[in-house]
Amino acid sequence: MSFSIDQILRGDIPRVERPPAADPSLVPVRLRVNGQDHDLQLEPRVSLLDALREFIGLTGTKKGCNQGACGACTVLVEGERVNSCLTFAIMHQGKDITTIEGLGTPDALHPLQAAFIEHDGYQCGYCTPGQICSAVAMLKEVEHGDASHVTSDLMATDVQLTDEEIRERMSGNVCRCGAYLGIVDSIRAVYEQQKGQ
Amino acid sequence: MRAFTYTQATDASAALHAALQNPEAKYIGGGTNLVDLMREEVERPNEVIDINALPFSQIEVLPDGGVRLGALARNSHTANHPLVRQRYPVLAQAMLSAASPQLRNLATNAGNLLQRTRCYYFYDTTAPCNKRQPGSGCAAIHGVNRIHAILGTSEQCIATHPSDMAVALAALEAVVQVQGANGTRRIAMEEFHRLPGDHPEQDTTLGRDELITSIDLPALPSTANSLYFKVRERPSFAFALVSVAAVLELEGEQIKNVRLALGGVAHKPWRARTAEEALLGKPATAENFRQAAEAELQTAIAYEHNAFKIELAKRTIVRALLTLAERQLLA
Ligand SMILES: Cc1cc2nc3c(=O)[nH]c(=O)nc-3n(C[C@H](O)[C@H](O)[C@H](O)COP(=O)(O)OP(=O)(O)OC[C@H]3O[C@@H](n4cnc5c(N)ncnc54)[C@H](O)[C@@H]3O)c2cc1C
Ligand code: SF4
Ligand code: FES
Ligand code: FES
């Protein structure tokens, strides 16, 4: 089939079936989650939380408030705990993202997962993935000598992780069931276990 | 949330260029305030300029002995930096009392200063609010105003600025370093945030396209002591009802140097100059502290639900200064 230049300029050419045009609002986003690359097509307004849950299918990370107030959406980015609901997925390309699924599996539990089971660190379990991701990073912060609002000596880099410290450092994770006693017990147990090693 | 295009800036001039080209664009730091406000449609940028790749994350000593805090350094890293912990306890404490560890890991220093009020009506797009929509009225003046301001308010707006960090920076007389289309400029902390007046939609004196590059802290005398005292509804993860950032230097029992800034009481960190002047050269006693606090709060105006803040502010000033004075007299 051939057309004259006039036909082409007039647009007078038969229509050919084409695949639907790609949605221009979508952009390619590559996320590295639990060591695995995921190539996604996302709108820039998709939060990291929605990308994990709705686009990658990792539903361990939970949506509680969607406004930074509950910590259910806590994941680790480059080992640091962050609220995945208040940040856009597209801002985290090329970074190592770890979710609860990447910490342990039912047959190879992370020590904190095992401790939460042993010490009744939950009731309904909704806040638990966020609590555990948060606690993993929190113990690293303690090891690093980070201070908290209740650390009396700001200069001390040798943090004594008292229950008061655990509560302050975990205050970004709210539990509707009020399993706080078990949560503190679980974290203290793992802290002592690690210290003993 | 309104759809937007995402622009990743690789250097400051690219970021400025993008912002100058599009008056509806917004910079994004950690996103912890902007994403929240975009989701509520309080902010509706059609373009988001990601500035996280810009080289403004350093925390370093300045030639004059002060310390420079990069605009993009995270709140958690800043609060825990040895220079901040050692030299500016008031700042470390203020920052560690703010938000949660997860939020502080995302939040940047510039974003913290530019966070917007937590006035409920500002967030509620069905309510009149002069800050969100100039000329629409203020739902808070005759509404629920427990968290609202008592100093420097106007008929147009009685909102408070929610940042703890900014209160400490006001007491430390920090300087905000800014880069714009016409080069760089410095804004003293006291000039950075505004009182509402007739333009509550303007929180700060920063130009729309201007970028904050750092926040510079002048050196404190080595004999000065500082602290941040925050009063809130629960002891963790809550905004301040009233807070006090205090720097005190005694000579014997006399007050040689004092700086006070209050949070939770005004549209900006409230530098308590009246109290400071009343205290200079006086003995550091509870009575003098109380008198200075009375003088500072003389012009306070209460609304229906926030009268308690006036007495609370006075007592918090006294408590902060007494704690510092006792520490120095014992040392
Ligand atoms: C549940 C909750 C509780 C909180 N509690 C507290 C609290 O107790 N005390 C407290 O002080 N804060 C509190 N915060 C607020 C938090 O500290 C701020 O959201 C945070 O500091 C904002 O920093 P960001 O980098 O995430 O800002 P973003 O959301 O990225 O940006 C905020 C604003 O700053 C602008 N911006 C960012 N960087 C620059 C730059 N370099 N130059 C020019 N413009 C820039 C953006 O365009 C935007 O308008 C809380 C927040 C939440 C969600
Ligand atoms: S106090 Fe200010 S922010 Fe709140 S409703 Fe009134 S104008 Fe809006
Ligand atoms: S869902 Fe992110 S903090 Fe609640
Ligand atoms: S276990 Fe139910 S919310 Fe925490």
- Which DSSP string do the residues of A59-122 spell out, in sequence order? TTS--SSSSSSS-TTEEEETTEEEEGGGSBGGGGTTSEEE-HHHH-BTTB--HHHHHHHHTT--
User: Mean pLDDT in chain B?
Assistant: 97
Query: Of A50, A79, A103, which residue constitutes the final position of a domain?
Result: A103
* Cα torsion through A67, A70, A72, A77, rounded to 10: 70
Classified as helix, coil or strand, A52 is helix
Burial of B252 (0-12, 13-18, 19+ CB in 10 A): exposed
Same domain for A119 and A89: no
With respect to residue A37, please indicate whether it lies within any of the assigned structural domains. Answer: yes
Query: What is the CATH T-level fold of the domain B5-52, as seen in this structure?
Result: 3.30.43
The amino acid sitting at B114 is: L
B99 lines ligand 1 (CB under 6 A): yes
Q: How confident is the model at residue B316 (pLDDT cuts 50, 70, 90)?
A: very high
- Contacts of residue A161, Cβ cutoff 8 Å, sequence gap at least 6: A142, A188, A191
Same domain for A72 and A98: yes
Q: How confident is the model at residue A21 (pLDDT cuts 50, 70, 90)?
A: low
Domain range summary for chain B, segments of one domain joined by +: 5-52, 222-330
pLDDT of residue A8: 47
Same domain for A142 and A81: no
B112 lines ligand 1 (CB under 6 A): yes
Percent with pLDDT over 70 in chain B = 100
Whether A146 shows a pLDDT value over 90: the answer reads: yes
What CATH code would you report for B222-330? 3.30.390.50
**Of B20 and A1, the one with more pLDDT:** B20
Percent with pLDDT over 90 in chain B = 98
**For residue A90, which residues of chain B lie inside 8 Å, CB to CB?**
6, 50
CATH classification at residue A41: 3.10.20.30
pLDDT of residue B223: 82
Classified as helix, coil or strand, B28 is strand
Number of domains observed in the structure of chain A: 2
pLDDT tens digits, one per residue of B64-83: 999 999 999 999 999 999 99
Q: Which of A100, A119, A122, A132 to mutate to test the pocket of ligand 4 (most atoms within 8 A of CB)?
A: A122
pLDDT of residue A86: 98
Q: How far apart are CA B152 and CA B172, in angstroms?
A: 21
Q: Is B29 on the interface with A (CB under 8 A)?
A: no
User: Taking Cα atoms as reference points, which of B62, B100, B101 lies closest to residue B83?
Assistant: B62
Question: Per the CB < 8 Å rule, is A87 touching B32?
Answer: yes
With respect to residue A2, please indicate whether it lies within any of the assigned structural domains. Answer: no
Same domain for A174 and A128: yes
Burial of B169 (0-12, 13-18, 19+ CB in 10 A): buried
Q: Read off the pLDDT of each residue in A177-197 and give the average, rounded to a whole number.
A: 95
Residues 36-55 of B with CB under 8 A from A: 36, 38-39, 48, 50, 52
Same domain for A188 and A116: yes
Question: Per the CB < 8 Å rule, is B79 touching A147?
Answer: yes
The amino acid sitting at B218 is: P
Same domain for A125 and A99: no
Reading phi first (left if > 0) and then psi (alpha if -120 to 50, else beta), residue B263 is in beta
Query: Of A49, A68, A103, which residue constitutes the final position of a domain?
Result: A103
Same domain for A123 and A168: yes
Q: How confident is the model at residue A16 (pLDDT cuts 50, 70, 90)?
A: very low
Whether A23 shows a pLDDT value over 80: the answer reads: no
CATH classification at residue A122: 1.10.150.120
Q: How many C-beta neighbours within 10 Å does residue B6 have?
A: 18
Mutation pick from A78, A82, A142, A158 vs chain B, by most beta carbons of B within 10 Å, is: A82
Query: Residue B251: beta bridge partners?
Result: B254
Q: Which of A53, A65, A87, A174 to mutate to test the pocket of ligand 3 (most atoms within 8 A of CB)?
A: A65
Question: Per the CB < 8 Å rule, is A149 touching B48?
Answer: no
| CA B295 to ligand 4 centroid distance, Å | 48
Q: Read off the pLDDT of each residue in B43-56 and give the average, rounded to a whole number.
A: 98
With respect to residue A125, please indicate whether it lies within any of the assigned structural domains. Answer: yes
Q: How confident is the model at residue B115 (pLDDT cuts 50, 70, 90)?
A: very high
Q: How confident is the model at residue A20 (pLDDT cuts 50, 70, 90)?
A: low
With respect to residue A175, please indicate whether it lies within any of the assigned structural domains. Answer: yes
Query: Of A77, A103, A129, which residue constitutes the final position of a domain?
Result: A103
How far is C-alpha A120 from the geometric centre of its chain's CA atoms? 23
pLDDT tens digits, one per residue of A31-47: 999 999 999 999 999 99
pLDDT tens digits, one per residue of B210-256: 999 999 999 998 888 999 999 999 999 999 999 999 999 999 999 99
Q: Read off the pLDDT of each residue in B87-101 and give the average, rounded to a whole number.
A: 98
pLDDT of residue B236: 97
pLDDT of residue A5: 53
pLDDT of residue B330: 83
Q: How confident is the model at residue A1 (pLDDT cuts 50, 70, 90)?
A: very low
Q: Is B106 on the interface with A (CB under 8 A)?
A: yes
Whether B286 shows a pLDDT value over 80: the answer reads: yes
Nearest CA in chain A to B31: A87
Look up the domain containing A83 and give its range.
Answer: 26-103
A175 lines ligand 4 (CB under 6 A): yes
Give the closest of B1, B80, B106 to A86, CB-based. B106
pLDDT of residue A46: 98
pLDDT of residue A17: 52
Same domain for A127 and A96: no
Nearest CA in chain A to B47: A44
User: Mean pLDDT in chain A?
Assistant: 91
Give the closest of A81, A85, A147 to B96, CB-based. A147
Question: Per the CB < 8 Å rule, is B38 touching A45?
Answer: yes
Q: How many C-beta neighbours within 10 Å does residue B305 have?
A: 14
A127 lines ligand 4 (CB under 6 A): yes
Mutation pick from A95, A171, A173, A187 vs chain B, by most beta carbons of B within 10 Å, is: A171
Same domain for A186 and A140: yes
With respect to residue A12, please indicate whether it lies within any of the assigned structural domains. Answer: no
Q: How confident is the model at residue A136 (pLDDT cuts 50, 70, 90)?
A: very high
**For residue A84, which residues of chain B lie inside 8 Å, CB to CB?**
none
> The pTM is what?
0.95
Nearest CA in chain A to B49: A91
Q: How many C-beta neighbours within 10 Å does residue B3 have?
A: 9
- Residue B300 to chain A, least CA–CA distance (Å): 30
Q: How far apart are CA B16 and CA A15, in angstroms?
A: 44
